[in-house]
A = this chain, B = another copy of it.
Amino acid sequence: MKVYNTLTKQKEEFVPLRDGEVRMYVCGPTVYDYTHLGHARTYIAFDVIRRYLEHKGYTVLMVMNFTDIDDKIIRRANETGEDPNELAEKFMHFFLEDMEALKVKPADVYPRVTEHIKDIIEFVKKLEEKGYAYEALDGVYFEVRKFKDYGKLSKVNLEEIVAGARVEPGEGKKNPEDFALWKKAKPGEPKWESPWGEGRPGWHIECSTMSTKYLGEQFDIHGGGNDLIFPHHENEIAQTEACTGKEWVKYWLHTGFVMVKGEKMSKSLGNFVTIRELLERYSPEVIRFFVLQRHYRSPLDYTEEGIQHAKNNLERLYNTIENIRIALEKAEIPFKWNKEEFELYEAIRKAKEKFYEAMDDDFNMAEAMKPIFEVANAVNKYLAEVEKPKESVLRKALEFFQMVGEIFGLFEEYFKESKEESKEKELIELLIQIRAELRKQKNYALADEIRAKLREMGIQLEDTPQGTIWKRIKV
């Protein structure tokens, strides 16, 4: 398996630091507003990367932070008159809801800055001790020029960025390129005690602190959107490697922008569409499918036609899966295979190989889509040609769709139990309710019939003082 490493600007063989495990960190959101498609694209891409690694048998330890205290949050809270903590809390939960709606598997740890202030202070103290950090009037700064490898990820040239003023402002810093590790509190701002007085962490330091806390001083993958390469990830490297003296992250992975009419989708340009808005018009799987049709590193054009096109394509696949399900009901035990079965089998076998080849080549999801349609075509051809389809080849096709569905987060309706199960509960509750109503109406015959029939299905009703409850029994 090969992955493109932003650090080396080439595809490299993927060999995790520990056998059988991949430790990955993806920069999470600053929770001050709704998630838009630009963010979702990044999280869906890393979700598929994570699912694919899990599919390959790796234990994946996935950490994503929440920046729940930050300039942007304070500014927004001031605008709306809310408490910054409450604002952050609210948008953090909206984010989690959006991710759940989009079927992005939850991270193993979602460290919040506000719950890791102590760890961050420790980290800054170490940098100070090692001579990389200094205290100024308004905070503690990282002295960029002391870290010799600065620029190794983004290949920025310090002189140029200083000249171009692409640096954070700060009252007391020695050099324009230095960045804040700790910001001393201004009146009314949320603040924590520290050796440098009351204040709060700078932005970059949280990721160095929390990633190494959960993933160790060296780990496999660090990811995020392209726009984080500089300065965020560059600064993270400087902080972490200065602190530990070790090479930090093995593979840096970055996602491309979502583009709207040639411009990056972003809060500041106001050309964004939130996940909530999109979900009113399209299903989560349509959104995933739309995103996955482009390579995760390439820009993705957001247009209505594009997403409609994705919807149509996805529906073709749904129809194929539905056709398989229907055909399976009348399918035969395969006592013999004819030419048609061999052909379908070969189509599936080759498609599976192509799928793996594409995914093994820097998670090329766009390329991996193609064999899915090849299987769909082969299945539909088979079903058109054959009067009595054979169970085994149909089942192989279904397993293929299930496999790619699990990796891409698609076709859930066809393979997942969760929804069915919750509907089962709802249906039982409805029957209990109808039975209670019948008993009130003194229609005991029908009420008892409901109870008896449910019992036959292995569902026992019990009338308790708190109402009727049910449990499963063996029948």
A278 at the interface (CB under 8 A from B): no
CB < 8 Å: which of B348, B392, B437, B457 contacts A426? B457
Q: Would you call A72 an interface residue if the criterion is a C-beta within 8 Å of the partner chain's C-beta atoms?
A: no
Interface residue stretch chosen among A42-50, A192-200, A445-453: A445-453
Of A55-63, A120-128, A296-304, the one contacting chain B is A55-63
Q: Choose among B107, B392, B395, B417 the residue that contacts A109 (Cβ–Cβ < 8 A).
A: B392
A381 within 8 A of B: no
Measured CB to CB, the closest approach of chain B to A375, in angstroms, equals: 12
A110 interfacial contact with B, CB 8 Å = yes
Interface residues of A in 51-86 (CB under 8 A from B): 54-57, 59, 61, 66
What separation, in Å, do the CA atoms of A395 and B20 have in the docked complex? Answer: 18
Q: Is the CB of B417 within 8 A of A446?
A: no
Given A61-B345, A115-B335, A446-B434, A106-B417 contact (CB < 8 Å)? no
Using Cβ atoms and an 8 Å threshold, which residues of chain B touch A399? 54
A interface, over-half SS:
helix
With both beta carbons as reference points, the residue of chain B lying nearest to A283 in the complex is identified as B474
Q: B335, A111: Cβ atoms under 8 Å? A: yes
> 0/1 per residue, A329-368, Cβ < 8 Å to B?
0000111110001000100110011001000000000000
State how many angstroms separate the Cβ of A223 from the closest Cβ of chain B. Answer: 18
Measured between beta carbons, the chain B residues less than 8 angstroms from A341 are 109
Per assembly, the copies of the chain total: 2
Q: Which of B107, B345, B416 contacts A108 (CB 8 A)?
A: B345
Q: Is there a chain B Cβ closer than 8 Å to A294's Cβ?
A: no
> Is A109 touching B19 in the complex (CB atoms < 8 A)?
no
Q: Chain B: which residue is nearest A348 at the CB level? A: B59
> Would you call A59 and B457 a contact (CB within 8 A)?
no
Closest B residue to A457 using CB positions? B426
Q: Chain B residues near A259 (CB, 8 Å)?
A: none
For residue A232, CB closer than 8 A to chain B, the reply is no
- Once the chains bind, are B57 and A336 in contact (CB under 8 Å)? no
Q: Which of A393, A437, A454 counts the most chain B CB atoms within 10 A? A: A437
Q: Which residues of A come within 8 Å of B, CB atoms?
A: 19-21, 54-57, 59, 61, 66, 96, 106-112, 115-116, 214, 333-337, 341, 345, 348-349, 352-353, 356, 391-393, 395-396, 399, 415-417, 420-421, 423-424, 426-428, 430-431, 433-434, 437-438, 441, 443, 446, 449-450, 453-454, 457-458
What 9 additional pairs, Cβ within 8 angstroms, besides A110-B334, A423-B424, A427-B457?
Answer: A19-B353, A108-B393, A109-B392, A112-B336, A417-B417, A420-B420, A424-B427, A426-B457, A427-B431
- The 8 tightest CB contacts between A and B, nearest first, are A417-B417, A427-B427, A108-B392, A59-B349, A20-B353, A420-B420, A112-B335, A420-B421
Query: Please, could you name 25 A-B residue pairs with CB atoms under 8 Å apart, sorted by A?
Result: A20-B349, A20-B352, A55-B57, A59-B396, A66-B335, A106-B333, A107-B392, A108-B337, A108-B396, A109-B334, A109-B336, A109-B341, A109-B392, A110-B334, A112-B336, A214-B337, A417-B420, A420-B421, A424-B424, A424-B427, A426-B457, A427-B428, A430-B431, A430-B450, A441-B446
